Amino acid sequence: MPNSSSDSAPPPRLDIATRVTELWDELAGFPAAQFLESRDHLLKALCDLVDAQQADWIGVVRFASGAGNDPMRGWRPRTVSAHNHLPEAGKVIEQAFAEMDRGEPDITTIRNVELAGQYRALLLKDLATPEWFESASYRNHYLRLGRKDSIWAGIPVNEEVEVQIGLHRGPDQEGFSASDVEVVSRAVRGLKWFYRLQMLGEGVGIASAPLTPTEGAVLSGVLQGLSEKQIAAANGQSPHTTHDHIKSIYRKYGVSSRTALMALWLHHM
């Protein structure tokens, strides 16, 4: 007879390399229409890997207007996704984005921008000065949101688009370590195909303008092969409204048919 205590024992914890490989396989298994679901899966998995409480995904685009004395060097955040945020996080993030749009970033953003175009994974203390941790920016953008420490990874998608992933621990946790940074670096570095598809899904840096949330929902239906009537029913729209959204999506991507739109996804795989 098997030992009852061994039957109830939890399975051994997978080593990091094995878990990372499994994560990559899991992400590859998501259909194109579920790009947002696959993104949240990645953020949750990264939180589990390094015991983070919250996570951010920020799509950043470089504009030609970034010449001269612009401290952002033309880079501007355009999309954001979150995992396990506090309710007030959306407003705080909007305020931070507005500061960046005005060319008024804090030191952590300036230092991050200086490294744009190269892959990096850094502790928050590597992006900040010691006095910054006493500043209003740290209080408003971190402590107010239940964050004490962070790891920020920057992943170039092409010369004009980056993905930035932030992982955050709360005030009741220890700060992140160099080994935590290594884990994050290993997990996110081998996924360039994934980032391209994510940016394609939102139109960031690929379409003439990012998709609206409604357009994103319509695009999901298109990628699933649904008819316009089916998409309209799924989103509580009239078929006429859905048709207008599809035409807008085509314009933004510079295509004129579903076949051409789907070809974009095949090209970026």
Q: Where are the domains of the chain?
A: 16-191, 213-268
Q: Is the pLDDT of residue 3 over 70?
A: no
CB-side neighbour CA atoms (13 Å) of 26: 17
Average pLDDT score over residue span 89-110: 88
Split at pLDDT 50, 70, 90, the class of 268 is low
User: 80-94, 126-140, 255-269: which range is least confident on average?
Assistant: 255-269
pTM of the model: 0.84
Q: Is the pLDDT of residue 10 over 50?
A: no
Q: Which of 243, 257, 247, 249 is nearest to 212 (CA)?
A: 249
DSSP structural state of residue 13? P
Split at pLDDT 50, 70, 90, the class of 18 is very high
CA distance 245 to 1: 63
**Is domain 213-268 classified as CATH 1.10.10.10?**
yes
Amino acid, res. 239 = P
Name the residue with higher pLDDT: 238 or 13.
238
DSSP of 133-167: GGSHHHHHHTGGGT-SEEEEEEEEEETTEEEEEEE
Q: Is the pLDDT of residue 210 over 80?
A: yes
- 163: its two tokens: 């993905």
Question: Strand 149-158's sheet: what is its strand order?
Answer: 75-83, 54-62, 161-169, 149-158, 120-123
Q: What is the largest CA-CA distance in the chain?
A: 76
User: 3-17, 87-101, 125-139: which range is least confident on average?
Assistant: 3-17
- 240: its two tokens: 């006429």
Mean pLDDT of the chain: 89
Burial class (CB in 10 A: 0-12, 13-18, 19+), 56: buried
16-191 folds as: Beta-Lactamase (3.30.450)
Split at pLDDT 50, 70, 90, the class of 205 is confident
Q: Is the pLDDT of residue 158 over 90?
A: no
DSSP of 232-256: HHHHT--HHHHHHHHHHHHHHHT-S
CB-side neighbour CA atoms (13 Å) of 90: 2
Q: Is the pLDDT of residue 13 over 70?
A: no
